A and B are shown apart, each in its own frame.
Chain A
Amino acid sequence: MDNVLQMKNVSKTFGEVAALRHVNFEVGSNEIVGLLGDNGAGKSTLVKIVTGYHQPDPGGEIYWKQEKIDHLSVAKARELGIEVVYQERALADLQSLWRNIFMGRELSNRLGILDEKMMFQETRKLMQTAMGFTSSAVSPESTVGTFSGGERQGVAITRALYFEAELIILDEPTMGLSISETKKCLDFVNGIKQAGKSAIFIDHNIVHVYPVADRIVVLDRGMIAGQFLKGELTFDALIDQLTRLAQTGRLESNPTMAK
């Protein structure tokens, strides 16, 4: 399988603290990778390196579609097609749906005058296809602050998909969502898969990650403790493994995929 993203021997230390230690991590093309780990396991550090927010320590290498990226900046990451869907901070609550969809990338002419009609129509199209908002009560002019948590997450993911993201990173997208909203959000993740894109799905709730991920990577104290293809392990077996990890700091059998 072709890799979209590959990280080799990536470490990150903040002063005395080693947040990541010699991590090898990859995301395949059209693969949904679930990234599990406790608080402080290094999930967000890993993500911030992928998005160019942090630079890895010398020796770490990052490849994008087999091509080595020497200095990954936030702007460069976006240009490559890496999009992050941040949890609460993603949307401007008082603004309309279409203004949120096109936030920071408004369609305009050379003078900067907005092409509102176009953005409005595109938003309407996305609502009916990607977002599944069919009610006549919601329009592109609706204020997103009135949406439910799941709908908001859907808006954020749809936004990433619309702008041709190749790799979408979901940072704890289900946090604070109700059960039905979570389901809706997970449907959106499935939508990423169907659209042929890749994703990294970060969560500490295994229940959410398991159904949608193709592969699950477990981070523990800055290292990759193991990874599983979903077919390899039942849900219950995975829970057992993670419990053991929490107690002993290691997984029972060395996973097949770790190389």
Chain B
Amino acid sequence: MASTNSNERPLSPTIERGRLVRFLRKNALQIAIVFVALVIWAFFYWKSPRTFGAYDIYNSLMSTTPYFALMAIPLTLVVVAKEIDLSFGSIMAWGMAAFALVFTPLSKTNPQLGVYLGFLACLLAGLFAGWLNGFIVVKLGIPSLVTTIGTQFFWRGAVMIALNGQGIGLTAVTSTVLYPALVGRLFGKIPMQFIWMIIFAIIVWFFLNHHKFGAHVYLVGDNVDSARLMGVDVDRTKILTFAIVGVASAFAGFIVSESVLFLWPTLGEGYLLNTLASVFLGGTSVFGGTGTVFGTFVAAFIIAIINPGIVASGWLAYWTQLIYGLIIVVSVALQSLLRRRFA
């Protein structure tokens, strides 16, 4: 076969260039992101060996990075499908509001049952909110940017009404298996939410790369017309990506609330920037059609290390937000340049 003969000369320069581009496209972004992560880590280690030489910081990173990475990983699907979701922060809280609505009446009589049913209600509420985003985008033809700004405010309002603006204590959760399973410590060392982040990443990666659904996500984001002409169910594919983000947001909301054992009605505020930054820094193109779960996974840790890194280096934490914003703009600009170069 021609392909196994390494001595055979390439027939055309465009094809040779294509091979290079293919290689760059397939792997270089992922290699680059790991490299970037190592450089940043090494820099902070050099600035503050005491902080980054101890286990505590890594324990802390493994505990808090999943809070937004659990959403960034499925959000990768939405962005690959050339859509965007800005409402996941509110959906985190909305899921927990649904939890509270089910849990509160049962909290006196059967708190354990209340927790389990509440957890189920939380996931279902998130699923519904995500599905609704997809439905509005697909069936009513409203751009997802606008749709999810709208639903972001809508669900936040719904949370405030449902909780009457008040927080709720969640200590009852500690008596259920959900507590050790979701926010406990594996071997007394590794935070369980980090394990869930890995599980999420593997599942989403598998479906994106080795399942029909993922193949359709790429096709829809790359060329929606051809996908439709070739019989891909564009509407269903898009709605599903939004629904997955919805359910993952509710799950993340549960984990965050559980780890502080309190439900704040403002839950989810402040996650927008670092979640989006993880997706874009991870090499998922805002123009749709390309992106990797691995990239998002690594990028989430880069995003997470910046804040403690800045503080440990003795700078003002105000820099964090500036750098997040910079990361989003620079990584999207790089994608645009890459696209123009290889288009």
* Bound together: yes
- Are B222 and A92 in contact, CB atoms less than 8 angstroms apart? yes
Name the one of A99, A105, A114 contacting B231, with C-beta atoms under 8 angstroms. Answer: A105
Q: Which residue of A lies closest to B220 (CB)?
A: A92
**B318 at interface by CB-CB < 8 Å:** no
| Known A99-B219, A146-B18; contact A113-B230, beta-carbon cutoff 8 A | no
Q: Is A73 an interface residue (CB 8 A)?
A: no
B212's nearest neighbour on chain A, judged by CB, is A112
Q: Given the complex, which residues of B lie within 8 Å of A141, measured CB to CB?
A: 22, 26
Q: Which residues of chain A come closer than 8 Å to B18, judged between CB atoms?
A: 137-138, 142-143, 146-147
Q: Closest 8 interchain pairs by CB?
A: A146-B18, A104-B230, A92-B222, A104-B231, A135-B11, A94-B289, A137-B10, A137-B15
With A136-B10, A137-B18, A145-B342 given, name 13 new contacts (CB 8 A): A92-B222, A94-B290, A105-B230, A106-B212, A112-B213, A113-B211, A134-B2, A135-B8, A135-B11, A138-B18, A141-B26, A142-B19, A143-B18
CB of B343 within 8 Å of the partner chain: yes
Interface set, chain A 134-186, CB cutoff 8 A to B: 134-139, 141-143, 145-148
Contact A143-B223, Cβ < 8 Å, known A86-B229, A95-B289, A103-B230: no
Are A104 and B16 neighbours in the complex by a CB distance under 8 Å?
no
Cβ-closest chain B residue relative to A112: B212
Whether B343 pairs with A145 at a CB distance below 8 angstroms is: yes
Q: How far, in whole Å, are A106 and B232 apart by their CA atoms in the complex?
A: 10
Residues of A bordering B, CB below 8 Å: 78, 84, 86, 89-95, 99, 103-106, 108, 112-114, 116, 124, 128, 134-139, 141-143, 145-148
B residues in contact with A78, CB < 8 Å: 231
Give the shortest distance, in Å, between A51 (CB) and chain B (any CB): 10
Minimum distance in angstroms from B19 CB to a CB of chain A: 5
Q: Is A84 a contact partner of B215 (Cβ separation < 8 A)?
A: no
Q: Chain B 1-26, CB within 8 Å of chain A: the 1/0 string?
A: 11101101011101111110110011
Q: Of A108, A136, A138, which contacts B212 at CB under 8 A?
A: A108
Contact A89 B223, beta carbon cutoff 8 Å: yes
| CB pair A143 B212 closer than 8 Å | no
> Interface 1/0s, chain B 160-195, versus A by CB < 8 A?
000000000000000000000000000000000000
Q: How far is the CA of A112 from the CA of B343 in the complex (A)?
A: 31
Question: Nearest Cβ in chain B — how far from A118, in angstroms?
Answer: 13
Instruction: Decide if B37 is an interface residue (CB 8 Å cutoff).
Output: no
Q: For the complex, is B104 an interface residue (Cβ under 8 Å from A)?
A: no
Which residue on chain B has the smallest CB distance to residue A141? Answer: B22
A63, B141: Cα distance in complex, Å: 36
Is A114's CB under 8 angstroms from B342's CB? no
What's the Cα separation between A206 and B225 when bound, in Å? 28
A90 to B223, CA, bound (A): 9
Q: Is the CB of B227 within 8 A of A103?
A: yes
A146 to B13, alpha carbons, bound, how many Å? Answer: 11
Instruction: Please give, as numbers and ranges, the residues of chain A lying within 8 Å of B5 by CB-CB distance.
Output: 136
Interface residue? B226 (CB, 8 A): yes
Contacts of A135 in B (CB 8 A): 2, 8, 10-12, 15
11 contacts between A and B (CB under 8 A): A93-B289, A104-B216, A104-B232, A112-B212, A124-B1, A134-B11, A135-B15, A142-B18, A145-B342, A145-B343, A146-B15
Contact B219 A146 (CB under 8 A): no
Contacts of A105 in B (CB 8 A): 230-231
Cross-chain contact B226 with A143 (CB below 8 angstroms): no
Contacts of A147 in B (CB 8 A): 18
Using known A-B contacts A128-B2, A136-B8, determine if residue A103 contacts B210 with beta carbons closer than 8 Å: no
Find chain A residues with CB under 8 A from B3 CB.
Answer: 124, 136, 139
- Cα(A112)–Cα(B223), bound, Å: 22
**B22 and A106: CB pair below 8 A?**
no
**Residue pair A104, B22 in contact (C-beta under 8 Å):** no
Cα–Cα, bound, A135→B229 (Å): 30
Check B226–A86 contact: CB distance below 8 A. Answer: yes
**Cα–Cα distance between A148 and B12 once the two chains are bound (Å):** 11
Bound form: Cα–Cα A114–B223 in Å: 20
Whether A95 lies near B211 (C-beta < 8 A) is: no
Determine whether B131 belongs to the interface, using a CB cutoff of 8 Å to chain A.
no
Shortest CB–CB separation between residue B290 and chain A, in angstroms? 5
B94 interface residue, CB < 8 Å from A? no
- Give the residues in chain B near A139, CB-CB below 8 Å: 3
Residue B205 is within 8 A (CB to CB) of chain A in the complex: no
A11 shortest CB reach to chain B, Å: 26
Q: Which residue from chain A places its CB closest to the CB of B19 in the assembled complex? A: A137
A143 touches B225 (CB 8 A): no
B218 at the interface (CB under 8 A from A): yes
